[in-house]
Amino acid sequence: MRATTSTEDGGPTACHAPATPRRPPAIAGPAIQVAGLHKKFGRATAVQDVSFCVYYGRVTGFLGPNGAGKTTTLRMMLGLIRADAGTAAIAGRPYSRLPSPARTVGALLDAAAHPGHTGRDHLRVLAAAAGLPGHRADELLLRVGLAHAARQRAGHYSLGMRQRLGLAAALLGDPDILILDEPGNGLDPQGIRWLRDLLRALAAQGRAVLVSSHMLAEAAQTVDDIVMISRGRTVAQAPLGDLLAARPGATLEDIYLELTGTPEGAPS
């Protein structure tokens, strides 16, 4: 039995170590363990049963259609949205009980900055709040390729530059776990390649990377594991290789459409 879990057969807590970790995990056990998350906004159910695991040393792609509940799930995992039921353990405990969250988890959700602040000042404020030295801001600007724009106001940044700034913010505390919501948005082809190399490098260092995406072709080149959700439920969790091997000839896109529904307006 390979490391395949789904809500149907495994139950929410059945997280197995991946069969072929590229590097030994930094800490024993999964980096992230999500079990049975539920959330309603008013009468609308956003997430009704999402369970999955994310492992150290691997890039996990978090896939699903618009409105499937990806962002709500990520925000529940990070304590921004209160779950109606279910749990999310990050490095073994709820996010809000991590002793130093910024050094444990780096998250990119909004790529947001005060438009009047320079990229450098934005990172300096976050570094100060996290108890990190101010020079981390300059190091990270260099790392994400924004050193030339460090003293420009974030309001003048392109979407791609804001994504890079958001990645810099996520990496400030040198965390072992990264949670990135659509980090490829607004990046040009050079940026996409750069992002892929960055995520691969982070995983190769033994870090856990969870990345939500719509770009299936890009995901197929980047990720080790797949978590797929649809209409608020986990519909697949498996290593990408296993998913592809189980359906000879099918692409990730074929599998995605099969599991999450055909495109609207498509001939049936």
Partner 1 sequence: MTRLLRAEALRLAITRAYWLLAIGATVLIAGGIAATSAATSFTPDPSPARSVLAMAGLAQTVALIAGVLSVTSEFRHKTITSAVLITPRRTPLLAAKLIALAAAGLVFGLATTAIATATALPLLAARHIPAGLTGSGAAAIIAGGGVATALSAAIGIGAGAVIRNQVSAIVAVLALLYVGEPLLGFIPHVGTAVQQYGIGGLAAATTHTTGFPDTANLLGQPVAALVLAGYGIVALIAGAALLGRRDITT
Residues that bind partner 1 (CB under 8 A): 72, 75, 78-82, 95-96, 98, 101-102, 105, 107, 109-110, 112-118, 121, 124-126, 128-131, 169
**Residue 24 CB, nearest distance to partner 1 (Å)?**
28
State how far the Cα of 181 lies from the Cα of 109, in Å rounded to an integer. Answer: 5
State how far the Cα of 118 lies from the Cα of 136, in Å rounded to an integer. Answer: 15
Q: Which is nearer to partner 1, 58 or 162 (CB)?
A: 162
For the sheet containing 44-54, what is the strand order?
85-90, 32-41, 44-54, 233-239, 225-230, 59-63, 208-213, 177-181, 105-108
Q: Which is nearer to partner 1, 14 or 98 (CB)?
A: 98
What does the DSSP assignment read for 204-232?
A: HTT-EEEEEES-HHHHHHH-SEEEEEETT
Closest CA to 33 of 95, 83, 108: 95
Q: Which is nearer to partner 1, 113 or 161 (CB)?
A: 113
Q: Which is nearer to partner 1, 57 or 173 (CB)?
A: 173
Q: Which is nearer to partner 1, 121 or 242 (CB)?
A: 121
**Residue 77 CB, nearest distance to partner 1 (Å)?**
11
Torsion sign, CA atoms 123, 128, 134, 136: negative
**Residue 47 CB, nearest distance to partner 1 (Å)?**
12
**Residue 129 CB, nearest distance to partner 1 (Å)?**
4
**Residue 89 CB, nearest distance to partner 1 (Å)?**
14
